[in-house]
Structures are given as C-alpha cells and as structure tokens.
C-alpha cells in the first residue's frame, strides 16, 4: 500500500504541477462560481498535526494525514469509509485555517457500467467528500467537485485489484 501511496502522490504532484497552468484559465463565460486561482505559497506553517520534525510543506508531511490525498470507495457506493474520516477532517481543518487555499475534489469510478452514469456516480463521491470538507470548516469557494467517471483510471486491469484503485476521489491542491 505504501508503494501505491507514493506512486499516487507522485502522480498527484505532477498533475498538480500541470494543473497549475490551467487552473482558473477557463474562458469567463458561464463557469458559475469560479474557483479562486490565487495561491498563497507554502509560507504559512499553521499545519495540522504534529509535524514538528518535518520541515517541508504540511501537505507533504508523510506523518500527517494531510499527505493522504486519495480516498477509496466501495463498489457502487459514494459513502466515505470510516478509515478516511480523520484524513478528511485534517484537510477540512487545513482549508478552514488557510482561506486562500483551494482544492479540486476529483471523483472517479471503475470501468464497470456505462460511462456517463459513471460520471454522475463519481460526482456523488466528489460531492460527498466536498460536504465533509465544508463540515470541517472549508468555505464553499475553496472546493470544487469535478467528475471524471471512468475516463482516467490509474490501474488498467480488469479485476478487483485494479477496480479498487480506480474507485477514488483525489484531492488536488495547486503547486506549493
């Protein structure tokens, strides 16, 4: 699992880097409430948890729940499982404490079933996580739920070991 964590983290970091340029770069026509593209770098040190021996960004602290940025789901479910509650609490608190930070809550589904229905299913997952974050104090304009359905799998097999990894929500922070 640790290996996967690192792999996913690596992926997230690179996507976050890529997302940096596109973030908020959409044309102004009708995207509703746009997410604030501005980023307050890594200057603030009011991170959550005991990261006393870690000198980097709190979001990258391996001993902090903030380092977990992927949440996995059971088949056909958008309920957050108990083991992730602490993670989401940490992220919620972090966002609450850093009003200028925003995060994309990106929902995904495994390949089974029809594609557009899976987009809607993955949106339910993203919205559930989004709600939990706002319950912890994140503001509405700090989170945006995006639904990718089954279109961007991280694992390409056709069995539960792959599907399990694809049923996820990723928390995508801008570069920091």
Partner 1 sequence: MKRMIKTVLFLSALVTFSAMSEALRIEITQGVSSAQPIVIVPFSSVQVVGGLPVDIAQVVSDDLARSGRFKPLPRMDMLNKPSSADQVNFRNWQSLGQDNLVIGSVTPSANGMLTVQFQLFDVYKGEQLTGFSIPANRSGLRGVAHRISDLIYEKLTGQKGAFSTRMAYVTSMPGINGKQEYKIQVADADGYGTKTIVTSSEPLMSPAWSPRGDKISYVSYEGRRSSIYTQTLRTGQREKLRSFKGINGAPSWSPDGSQLALTLSKDGSADIYIYNVITRSFRRLTRSYAIDTEPDWSPDGRQIIFTSDRGGKPQIYQISANGGQAGRVTFEGSYNARASYSPDGKNIVMVHRVNGQYRIATLDIKTGFSNILTNGELDESPSYAPNGSMILYSTNDGLKSILAAVSSDGKVRQKLRLQGGEVREPAWSPFK
Helix/strand/coil for 71: strand
Q: Looking at residues 8 to 27 of the shown chain, list those that interact with partner 1 (rule: CB under 8 A).
A: 19, 22, 25-26
CB nearer to partner 1: pick between 85 and 111: 111
- On whether the CB atoms of residues 64 and 89 are closer than 8 A, the answer is no
Q: Which DSSP symbol is given to 95?
A: H
Phi, psi angles (nearest 5°) of residue 105: -100, 105
| Binding positions for partner 1, 134-173, rule CB under 8 A | 144-149, 151-152, 158
Binding segment for partner 1 (CB under 8 A), chosen from 47-55, 81-89, 94-102, 118-126, is: 118-126
Stretch that binds partner 1, among 3-11, 63-71, 87-95, 121-129 (CB under 8 A): 121-129
How many whole angstroms separate alpha carbon 164 and alpha carbon 157?
Answer: 10
E-only strand ranges, 52-107? 70-72, 103-107
| Residues at the site binding partner 1, with contacts judged by CB under 8 A | 19, 22, 25-26, 29-33, 104, 111-117, 119-121, 123-124, 144-149, 151-152, 158
């Amino acid at each position: 699992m640790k290996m996967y964590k690192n792999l996913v983290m690596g992926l997230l970091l690179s996507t976050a880097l890529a997302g940096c340029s596109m973030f908020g770069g959409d044309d102004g026509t009708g995207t509703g409430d746009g997410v604030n593209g501005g980023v307050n770098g890594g200057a603030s040190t009011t991170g959550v948890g005991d990261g006393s021996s870690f000198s980097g960004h709190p979001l990258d602290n391996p001993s902090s729940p903030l380092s977990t940025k992927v949440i996995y789901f059971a088949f056909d479910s958008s309920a957050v499982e108990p083991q992730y509650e602490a993670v989401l609490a940490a992220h919620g608190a972090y966002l609450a404490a850093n009003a200028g930070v925003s995060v994309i809550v990106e929902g995904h589904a495994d390949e089974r079933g029809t594609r557009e229905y899976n987009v809607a299913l993955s949106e339910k997952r993203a919205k559930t996580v989004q709600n939990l974050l706002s319950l912890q104090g994140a503001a509405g304009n700090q989170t945006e739920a995006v639904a990718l359905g089954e279109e961007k799998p991280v694992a390409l097999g056709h069995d539960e070991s792959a599907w399990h990894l694809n049923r996820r929500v990723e928390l995508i922070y801008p570069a920091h």
